[in-house]
Amino acid sequence: MHCHVEDLAAFAATAGAWLRREPVLHNVLLTLVADRLSGDVALSGAERFVRVVDGGVTVGAAVHTPPRGPLLAAMPPAAARALAEHLLGAAPPLAEVHGPVPAVEAFAERYAERAGLVAVPGTAQRIFQLDAVRPPVGVRGRARPATVADRDLLVAWAGAFLAETAPGGPAVDPAAQIDARLQHGDLLWLWADAGEPVATAWLSRRVAGVARVSGVYTPPARRGRGYASGCVARASRYALDAGATRCTLYTDRADPISNRIYQALGYRPVADVAQWRFAAR
């Protein structure tokens, strides 16, 4: 079993075909590649696109976009361990890894063992998918696509979302993400009550028939009124009407409220994913 570091175009052609066999499970990886191929996200030069090959056949893949740790595809544990061995030479040493269970666990265990570190479980999430929306009833207001006039509000909300959901995580520039989505005109959604924005949800570009909902945020003072549910339902409906065969989203497995809310809209669980951190012994 061997690991091949490829440039973006080669990885998109080789690993991309393999990743598309599981377009929901691999949606984030496919989107990372698509955004860089299109130029929506500029290459930094620090990325690693790695394909795991066994007997000439692709059996695994990962994309590493520092400062975040590698994002793994769903792969056999043996392939994940081979990838961990390959990334032992990464500089600086990895601080974390993300991916589907159980591949990410096999990677974390092997990398920590060989690097002389301790693998510590971090966030645990669940992937959901939807192919038909059950919109909530009785929610005041309506959804609309965000515009450039909403940019400052969206940047502020994105910063608040990151501070709440990923405290202490790698520094991320939410303004760049907002600007990239605003260029498309229909990837950022707001729920407005009496004309005032009260919640938001993001859509990713459609890749392999799948659109992903993320960045769901309601300011604390506005919570408990169904605004986020309404916004997610409308964004999901829009994506399906625009040609997506399925929508997907990630939830925190430790948050029963969000899991219940999304299932009420028609989302069904697909797989579990996790983050593992590496710490000194």
CA angle 55, 60, 64 (to 5 degrees): 130
Q: Which of 43-52, 157-166, 244-253 has the lowest mean pLDDT?
A: 157-166
The reply to whether 133-265 shares the fold of 2-124+275-280 is yes
Q: What is the pLDDT of residue 247?
A: 98
CATH fold of 2-124+275-280 reads Aminopeptidase (3.40.630)
CA distances from 216 to 62, 85, 148, 251 (A): 26, 36, 19, 10
CATH fold of 133-265 reads Aminopeptidase (3.40.630)
Contact 239, 206 (CB under 8 A): yes
What average pLDDT does the segment 245-267 reach?
94
What are the boundaries of each domain within the chain? 2-124+275-280, 133-265
Residue 5 has pLDDT above 70, yes or no: yes
What average pLDDT does the segment 40-45 reach?
89
Residue 131 has pLDDT above 90, yes or no: yes
Q: What residues contact 54, with CB distance under 8 A and at least 6 apart?
A: 1, 2, 79
Is 135 exposed, middle or buried (CB count within 10 Å of its CB: 0-12, 13-18, 19+)?
middle
Residue 170 has pLDDT above 70, yes or no: no
